[in-house]
Structure 1
């Protein structure tokens, strides 16, 4: 049931309570780019869950890229579908981290934004834990930012919340 704001005279029903009580559920994000270089999860482990309470959507995603993951190529910025459409784009709707586990100290913070009303994008948010500058890979994440992605040893985790469209 879609959320409907409470109005005078409305009664409490199971459906209305369900619309404001968050229930976590699975979703499979669709991974695309802003260009023609389409990535593919391959045998990645993807755990994506979301819940909605009234007009607030909560989400968390954990991806361990597999040996057959295709990261795309070039500088086409990564995008992943959000579980529910937002009314507008938004600069920050969450945070997370990226990591190449084959390179110790490579974990780096990211900000999650809505580049379109139902498309997450990922933006570098600082240096890695080994205090290495992200200057060469600053900006939105793509197949070559913040550096070469290693199939089978890289991960992307992000979580947050945003306002859902009516």
Structure 2
């Protein structure tokens, strides 16, 4: 049932309550790049991707721990990673969530934010220094070599919300 804004005189029904009461579900994210070249693949990564929608707001949680068979794409700094959204967004958005990325060492942890760069995908951008206050090797939208060369057991964790198209 598509969301319909509340109007005077409407009767509260089970269907209307279901529209407004989010129920969490899994989604299977698709991992691509902004150029479509050097495509990555999850391999044996551990992925938790959950979402819920209330009216025109989507809430999401994405946690990826890369595995020994993950292919990171190797496209370099001009081939930014994209992850599909659970439902299309209403528009492009600069900040739709916050989280962290984790490298191989405790010092390799830094804050990130999600950015909706097409209405069906988001990219992830570094948004601060490493948690031990050291400077990043590189910054910007993440890819196979930004902010570091990704490897087995590295992780992405992101929670957020955005306005949906319907």
State the TM-score, normalized to the length of structure 2: 0.94
State the shift of 1:162 in Å: 0.6
Q: CA deviation at 1:82?
A: 0.6
Corresponding residue number in structure 2 for 1:82: 85
Q: Which runs of 4+ in 1 moved over 3 A?
A: none
Cα deviations by residue, 1:35-91 (Å, 9 ceiling, x for unpaired) = 201100000000000011111110001111000001111120010001111111001
SS at match of 1:52: strand
**Helix, strand or coil at the partner of 1:80:** strand
Paired position in structure 1 for 2:134: 132
- Please give the residue correspondences for 1:20-99 in structure 2 after superposition, counting only pairs within 5 Å: 20-35=20-35, 36-73=37-74, 74-75=76-77, 76-99=79-102
The RMSD of aligned alpha carbons is 1.0
- Deviation (angstroms), 1:118: 1.5
CA distance in 2, matches of 1:156, 1:139: 15
Gaps of 5+ in 2: none
In structure 2, distance between residues paired with 1:40 and 1:121: 16
Q: For 2:28, what is the secondary structure of its paired residue?
A: coil
Matched position secondary structure for 2:156: strand
How many residues matched? 163
Match of 1:118 in 2: 120
Q: Any unmatched runs of 5+ in structure 1?
A: none
For the residues of structure 1 that align with 2:126 and 2:23, how far apart are their CA atoms?
A: 31
Once the two structures are TM-superposed, the CA of residue 9 in structure 1 deviates from its matched residue by 2.8
Secondary structure at 2:44's aligned position in 1? coil
Q: TM-score, structure 1 length as denominator?
A: 0.94
Distance 2:16 2:140 in 1: 42
